[in-house]
Amino acid sequence: MKPKVAFFDFTSCEGCQLNKLNLENDLLDILKHVEIVEFREAMDDKADAYDIAFIEGSISSPSCVERIHDIRRRSKILVALGSCAVNGGVNAMKNLQPIDEVRETVYGEDKYLFATLPAMSVSSIVKVDYEVRGCPMTQQDFLKLLVSLVLGKQAPRYDSPVCVECKLSENECLYNRGMVCLGPITRGGCDAICPSFGQFCTGCRGLLDEPNYIGMLEVMTNHGISLDEAKKRMLLFNSNEVQL
């Protein structure tokens, strides 16, 4: 029997889910392997239990916490999709300010009506089996994971920085073009898509294990941006990860 697959969204832009719908060419091949039973962006079927649950978005309210626990209980395999789900993503920037100020800014005097929590990764609440990184997650990466799951193989893990794929594509280094790029400490697997099109890396796939923060800040400031700006760049997608 084909594995039952479901998609759920939490605090996010739902861009990752849209990205999947754009998989036109491969969609039929995917449906050979799995049966999609829940996908709010595309259908309204519901099921009780799932073989694979894909989670998009970060966990940022008490009701989110309750819901993710419920999904976990009903799922054999749980996958975090995209940077919000993997490490909190851009949402986690709110964690850098006192939560009360954040509520006031967003909801004004109605702030007491809306319970909120710091934006957290899915894995900080429940066990996550696999992750697909990036903002948005790339279709290729999603397909690789899906194929791995079908083959019963451990999903590919990217422990090498973006610079590796960038160098292998023989791109001109953006540092040599006077730009500041997070490629050296950002987890690769994206085929260095941004630098390949002349756009510096913003760190959307998360940082490597134990990056050299101080060395990286020095690199960035030596290439013309202020320490404050350098820190902000690092925090953009990785507020929950960066220890400065």
Partner 1 sequence: MKRLQEVKSNEALDLYYPTMCEIVDAKQLTDLEKWYELKLPGGQDLGHEPGQFVEVSAFGIGEAPISISSSPSKEGSFELCIRQVGTLTKVLKRYEKGDTLGIRGPFGKGYPIEKMYGKDILIVAGGIGLVPLRSLINFVLDNRQEFGRLIILYGAKNPSELLFTDELDVWQRRDDVELHVTVDQGDPSWEGNTGVITTLIPELDLNLNKTIAAITGPPIMYKFVVMSLKSKQLPDSHIYLSLERRMKCGVGKCGHCQINGVYCCQEGPVFNYVDIKPLEEAL
Partner 2 sequence: MECYSLKQSDVPALIDHLGAYGEVIAPHRKGDVSYSFEPVKDSEKVVLEYNRTLLPLKKCFLPPTEKLMDFSLKDMSYKPTEVPIKPAVYFGIHSYEMQSILRLDHSMLSGKAESNYFNRRKKSRFIGVSFSPDEYHFSESVGISIEEMEGFDLYLNKVSDDYQLYIISDKGKDLLKGFDKLIQAEPIHVEGREFNKKIRYHYNRLPRVFQYAYHSKVWAEVAERCVGCGSCNLTCPTCFCFDVNDQVEVTAEDGMRRRSWDSCMLSTFAEVAGGENFREHTLNRTRHRLYRKFKYITDEEGLPWCVGCGRCTAFCPADISMVDIINDLIREDEKAQFHKTVRV
Under the rule (CB under 8 A), what is the footprint of partner 2? Answer: 26, 29-30, 32-33, 143-144, 146-147, 150-151, 159-161, 163-164, 167-173, 175-177, 181, 183-185, 208-212, 214-216, 218-219, 222-223
Query: What does 63 interact with, of partner 2, partner 1, none (CB < 5 to 8 A by kind)?
Result: none
Residue type, 44: D
Check if the beta carbon of residue 93 is closer than 8 Å to that of residue 60. no
**What separation in angstroms does the CA of 22 have from each of 25, 91, 140, 142, 216?**
8, 24, 11, 12, 36
Is 153 among the residues that bind partner 1 (CB under 8 A)? yes
| Interface pick for partner 1 out of 1, 113, 151, 214 (rule CB under 8 A) | 151
Query: What does 176 interact with, of partner 2, partner 1, none (CB < 5 to 8 A by kind)?
Result: partner 2
Element (H, E) at 166: helix 162-168
Is 25 among the residues that bind partner 1 (CB under 8 A)? no
CB 49 to partner 1: min, Å: 23
Is 154 among the residues that bind partner 1 (CB under 8 A)? yes
Instruction: Give, in degrees to the nearest 5, the angle at Cα 126 between 84 and 153.
Output: 85
User: What are the two backbone dihedrals, phi and then psi, of residue 220, each rounded to the nearest 5 degrees?
Assistant: -65, -45
Binding positions for partner 1, rule: CB under 8 A: 151-154
